[in-house]
């Protein structure tokens, strides 16, 4: 309210003073502003952020489900066995009876070689065998003739011995009765003893001769047997000039040409057996979990084929090691050596776990953190997690996420180190 006072006929306007001067108000407001600023500094969101187009990212939901512990590996079909054809005997290629790429049976003649030296060796062995056989026959004939001669000689000596024995006995009786002289008695005795000794000498001669002839026969017989064995070996060598298929299979890589000289032991081809296996290379990260007996499978033309790991090679090269797998039951009808299949190699039994889809974020962030999206899908915040096992489709979550939460599974390369993403 304004009061007016009249001084000498003039009116003067008098202002009413405020109860709180402006200076006091300013002094009172300043602490409030400062306190509010401190609160803002303390509780403000200091995290770095960036705006992200929602259409450029992929969002997935964390689930509680079955985690199938397997990895996917590439395997190449190769023959289970490769039988190499080496020339057992050297020679000149005379004929190629079967061309490569042909199915062969065990025993089929593939290449025929010639070697004149082996033919000469056979002729020499046959001539030596004939000579030794003739020697054996002559020795046996001589032995029989000598045996008959000695036998006849012994018959004559034995007759003479009997006669001289009888004469000695007669003179012995006469001498006892003093009807003959002592000289006649002693002469008859000496003749009898001499004839008896001659028989013993002849018997010893017959025994020694029989033993000697027997040794000669045995030696000749052994020589003949050795010559026959040698001849058999030479003939086998001659048969080895026919290079044959040792097993059934597909003939391949024949390098011998007609007229070419082949050295002994030189490789001239190979036979691929009908049995096939798959050789798969596995990352060394799984070396402790891979062992013989693991199962694997792949699909082709809508059909599933089961396999089993039969061998794990110990060598690690270029961060990988080799394994062999064989078909358990059945294989694709049109399978060929050299084909590549992608196998699902089972490492363990399925388990219930918290799982998330496997995405590019695993490579970008190393699987150590994810961006968790809020319910309205307007904001995503970075959160550290811990992953367990992984398969081609899912990752097992050990810590940091709960079923029902949403995360970004596309790549994080463009997000840098921003803690918060504003989804637009």
Domain range for 13 is 3-43
> Please, what is the average pLDDT of the chain?
83
Question: Looking at the structure, do residues 259 and 283 belong to the same domain, yes or no?
Answer: no
Residues 123 and 234 in one domain: yes
Q: Provide φ and ψ at 197, rounded to 5°.
A: -70, -40
Assign 35 a pLDDT band (cuts: 50, 70, 90): low
DSSP 404: T
CATH of the domain at 265: 2.40.50.100
- Specify the pLDDT at position 278: 93
Residue 374 and residue 231 share a domain: no
Whether residue 227 sits in one domain with residue 138: yes
Range name among 22-31, 72-81, 389-398, 414-423 with the lowest pLDDT average: 22-31
Using one digit for the tens of pLDDT, what is the confidence trace for 148-190?
888 888 888 888 888 888 888 888 888 888 887 888 888 888 8
Q: What is the mean pLDDT of residues 40-62?
A: 75
Q: State yes or no: pLDDT of 5 exceeds 60.
A: no
**Domain identity same for 264 and 340:** no
pLDDT tens profile 268-288: 888 888 888 999 999 998 899
Helices (H), 177-274: 182-239
Model confidence pLDDT, tens digit, residues 63-95: 999 999 899 999 999 888 888 888 888 888 988
Both structure tokens of 228: 């026959």
Alpha helices in 57-181 (DSSP H): 116-176
For residues 162 and 133, state if they share a domain: yes
What distance lies between CA 198 and its chain's CA centroid? 81
- Residue 181 near residue 209, CB atoms below 8 Å: no
Tokens, residue 261 = 């000289």
| pTM reported for the whole predicted model | 0.54
Please state the domain count of the chain.
5
Same domain, 130 and 220: yes
Whether 292 and 321 share a structural domain: yes
Cα separation values, 182 from 179, 189, 238, Å: 10, 10, 83
The rounded distance, in Å, linking the Cα atoms of 187 and 185 is 5
Could you tell me if 248 and 106 lie in one domain?
A: yes
CATH number of the domain bearing residue 325: 2.40.30.170
């Amino acid at each position: 309210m304004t009061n007016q006072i009249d001084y000498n006929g003039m009116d003067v306007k008098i202002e009413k003073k405020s109860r709180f001067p402006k200076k006091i108000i300013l002094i009172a407001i300043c602490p409030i502003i400062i306190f509010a600023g401190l609160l803002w500094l303390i509780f403000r969101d200091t995290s770095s952020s960036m705006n992200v187009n929602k259409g450029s990212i992929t969002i997935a939901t964390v689930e509680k489900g079955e985690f199938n512990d397997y990895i996917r590996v590439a395997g190449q079909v190769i023959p289970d066995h490769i039988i190499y054809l080496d020339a057992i005997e050297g020679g000149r290629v005379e004929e190629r009876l079967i061309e490569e790429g042909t199915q062969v049976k065990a025993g089929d003649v593939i290449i025929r070689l010639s070697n004149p030296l082996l033919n000469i060796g056979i002729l020499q062995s046959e001539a030596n065998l004939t000579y030794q056989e003739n020697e054996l026959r002559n020795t046996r004939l001589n032995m029989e003739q000598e045996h008959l001669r000695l036998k006849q000689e012994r018959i004559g000596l034995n007759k003479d011995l009997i006669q001289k024995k009888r004469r000695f006995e007669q003179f012995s009786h006469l001498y006892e009765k003093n009807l003959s002289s002592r000289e006649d008695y002693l002469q008859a005795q000496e003749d009898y003893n001499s004839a008896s000794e001659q028989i013993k000498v002849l018997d010893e001669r017959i025994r020694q001769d029989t033993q000697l002839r027997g040794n000669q026969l045995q030696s000749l017989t052994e020589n003949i047997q050795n010559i026959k064995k040698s001849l058999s070996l030479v003939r086998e060598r001659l048969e080895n000039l026919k290079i044959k298929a040792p097993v059934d299979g597909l003939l391949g890589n024949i390098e011998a040409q007609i007229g070419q000289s082949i050295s002994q032991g030189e490789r001239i081809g190979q036979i691929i057996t009908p049995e096939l296996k798959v050789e798969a290379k596995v990352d060394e990260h799984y070396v402790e979990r891979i062992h013989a007996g693991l199962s694997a499978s792949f699909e082709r033309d809508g059909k599933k084929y089961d396999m089993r790991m039969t061998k794990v090679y110990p060598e690690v090269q270029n961060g990988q090691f080799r394994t062999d797998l064989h078909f358990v039951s059945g294989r694709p009808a049109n399978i060929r050596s050299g084909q590549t299949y992608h196998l699902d190699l089972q490492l363990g039994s399925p388990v219930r776990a918290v799982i998330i889809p496997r995405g590019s974020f695993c490579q970008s962030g190393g699987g150590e953190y994810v961006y968790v999206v809020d319910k309205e899908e307007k904001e995503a915040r970075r959160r550290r997690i811990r992953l367990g096992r992984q398969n081609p489709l899912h990752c097992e979550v050990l810590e940091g996420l709960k079923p029902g939460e949403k995360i970004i599974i596309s790549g994080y390369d463009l997000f840098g180190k921003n803690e918060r993403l504003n989804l637009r």
